[in-house]
Amino acid sequence: MPSSFLGRFSILCAILRQLHLILQIAAFSSELSLLKPSTFLVDQLSAGIPLLRYVYPAARVLFYCHFPDKLLAKKGGLLKSLYRGPFDWIESWSTGCSDGIVVNSKFTRSVFDQAFPRLKGREPAVVYPCVDTSPAEIKEEGDNQLWDGLKILLSINRFERGYDRRVSENVSYHAELEVLADSLKLKHATLKTVVSAHILPSDVSVLFLLSVPNTLKATLLSRASLLIYTPRNEHFGIVPLEAMLAGVPVLAANEGGPTETVVDGETGWLRDVSKPGDWTKVIRQVLTSLDSAALKTMGDKGRRRVVDIFSKETMAQRFEDEIKWLSSAHRPRLAPFTGDDIMLLGAILFLISAFVWKIYQ
Considering the domain boundaries, does residue 20 fall inside one? Answer: yes
Question: Is 304 in the same domain as 347?
Answer: no
Residue 272 lies in domain: 152-311
Say how far apart CA 125 and CA 107 lie, in whole Å: 12
Question: Is 335 in the same domain as 244?
Answer: no
Per-residue pLDDT of the chain (361 residues), as tens digits, is 677 776 677 888 888 899 999 999 998 899 998 999 999 999 999 999 999 999 999 999 999 999 988 787 777 777 777 778 888 889 999 999 999 999 999 999 999 988 998 898 888 999 999 999 987 655 554 444 456 677 889 998 865 555 666 667 778 888 998 999 999 999 998 886 666 666 777 788 898 888 787 888 888 898 899 999 998 889 899 999 999 999 999 999 999 999 999 999 999 999 999 999 999 999 999 999 898 899 999 999 999 999 999 999 999 999 999 999 998 888 888 765 555 555 565 565 556 556 545 655 5
Question: Is 164 in the same domain as 298?
Answer: yes
Question: Is 323 in the same domain as 307?
Answer: no
Considering the domain boundaries, does residue 137 fall inside one? Answer: no
Question: Is 51 in the same domain as 116?
Answer: yes
Domain end point (choices 275, 290, 311): 311
At 161, give phi and psi (nearest 5°).
Answer: 60, 20
Question: Is 262 in the same domain as 230?
Answer: yes
Q: Count of domains in the chain?
A: 2
Question: Is 307 in the same domain as 161?
Answer: yes
Question: Is 244 in the same domain as 287?
Answer: yes
Question: Is 196 in the same domain as 53?
Answer: no
Say how far apart CA 213 and CA 217 lie, in whole Å: 6
C-alpha distances (whole Å) from 164 to each of 5, 10, 158, 167, 181 are 20, 19, 11, 6, 22
Question: Is 53 in the same domain as 125?
Answer: yes
H-only helix segments in the chain: 10-26, 31-35, 49-55, 69-72, 78-96, 106-115, 168-183, 214-223, 239-245, 258-261, 276-284, 292-309, 312-326, 339-359
pLDDT, residue 250, reads 98
Identify whether the C-beta of residue 60 lies closer than 8 Å to the C-beta of residue 40.
yes
Question: Is 324 in the same domain as 264?
Answer: no
What does the DSSP 8-state code read for residue 185? T
CATH code at position 301: 3.40.50.2000
Considering the domain boundaries, does residue 244 fall inside one? Answer: yes
Question: Is 291 in the same domain as 193?
Answer: yes
**5 contacts: CB under 8 Å, gap ≥ 6:** 12, 13
Identify whether the C-beta of residue 47 lies closer than 8 Å to the C-beta of residue 90.
yes
Considering the domain boundaries, does residue 201 fall inside one? Answer: yes
Say how far apart CA 227 and CA 346 lie, in whole Å: 51
